[in-house]
Amino acid sequence: VALTSPQDISALKAFKASIKPSSIQPWSCLASWDFTATDPCALPRRTHFTCGLLCSSDSTRVTQLTLDPAGYSGQLTPLISQLTQLTILDLSDNYFFGPIPASISSLSNLQMLTLRSNSFSSSVPDSLTQLKNLDSLDLSYNSLSGSLPKNTFLMSSLRRLDLSYNKLTGSLPKLPPNLSELALKNNVLSGVITKNSFDGLTQLEVIELSENSFTGTLEAWFFLLPALQQVNLSNNTLTRVGISKPVDGRSDLVAVDLGFNKIQGYLPVNFADYPMLSSLSMRYNRLRGGIPLEFSHKKSLKRLFLDGNFLIGKAPIGFFSGDVPVAGSLGDNCLQGCPVSSQLCSPSQKSYSVCKQAYGRKPRP
């Protein structure tokens, strides 16, 4: 007598039927799914349904569908919505293609949705924002396009969002209030990064927005997000950055990468007031002026990349005294007295003529 709910069996049959038979290897989980021989949730499992599924304690409902990375190819059937007790759906590292079915919104108990490293296309379904219990959403390394759902902020339980390596366009919407990790690397997102998108995000620790097309000024509020630890906004088109001192001198900020933008102005001295900052990159921007002495006195700083700018004056001697062992590069600037023997001064400085042209006169600190 079958224990598994008939609607779950029907959904699992439809799920397997949507996979190309030629992509189901004999040793894979799906190859062991034989609906004529064994009930999917029956125990003990010996030769059938050996993996890919977990069921409820009474063996009546499927609660987890986690495929092995066996090269399965096919579309994700909309009938997946019948598995209404699913808490985890993980199809990562396969060859699923086509749209993500909007019917996934019926999986109201879903806590983790991982479709990473497939070939899903079309847009991110707006209906995903109805998943109020979802803790982690990973759709990275696919071919998703269009803009992010405007109601993304309604996903009140979401703590981890990764949509990196897709073809997403448009600006950032208002983000879910309980996010701790945000990764949207390598898309085509654009516009100014506004406070409205990040308003109320008191638990956000990691922001990965590199390799997009964000423009304009990154304002001072950004680095004052209370839980912020790591920021990567490299390879965008930012032109200005505002940095305030941390509130009451307290901040968990450890690493900042703003390299390969078009940031103008002086190197922000207030970064030196962030007590735990150990890695800072502002390489290949359009920075001018000198390197503040505060950076060479900062004991927490272990990595500093300022190469590829138009910094002038003398490189702070503290970087070469041995008191503060800093790795990185001050090369390809207009600095004086940067010891050739130091790895920190590689590559060599810009030529005098290039520096003079950049400043329109003899460069002076």
Q: Average pLDDT across each block of 10 residues of the chain; the chain has 365 residues. List them in order.
A: 87 98 97 92 86 94 97 97 98 98 97 98 96 98 97 96 98 97 98 97 98 97 97 98 94 98 97 97 97 92 96 90 81 92 92 90 63
Q: What is the pLDDT of residues 77-122, one digit of tens each?
A: 999 999 999 999 999 999 999 999 999 999 999 999 999 999 999 9
Report whether the peptide linkage leading into residue 44 is cis, meaning its omega lies within 30 degrees of zero. Answer: yes
CATH 1.10.3720.10 is right for the domain spanning 67-328: no
Cβ(221)–Cβ(197) under 8 Å? no
Cβ contacts of 88 within 8 Å, gap of 6 or more: 54, 63, 64, 65, 66, 110, 111, 112, 114
In the chain, where are the structural domains located? 67-328
The secondary structure of residue 246, as a DSSP letter, is P
Q: What is the pLDDT of residues 304-358, one digit of tens each?
A: 999 999 999 998 888 887 666 789 999 999 999 888 888 999 999 999 999 999 8
The secondary structure of residue 82, as a DSSP letter, is G
SS3 123: strand
Q: What is the dihedral of CA 178, 183, 187, 193, to 10 degrees?
A: 50
Cβ(274)–Cβ(298) under 8 Å? no
Cβ(147)–Cβ(168) under 8 Å? yes
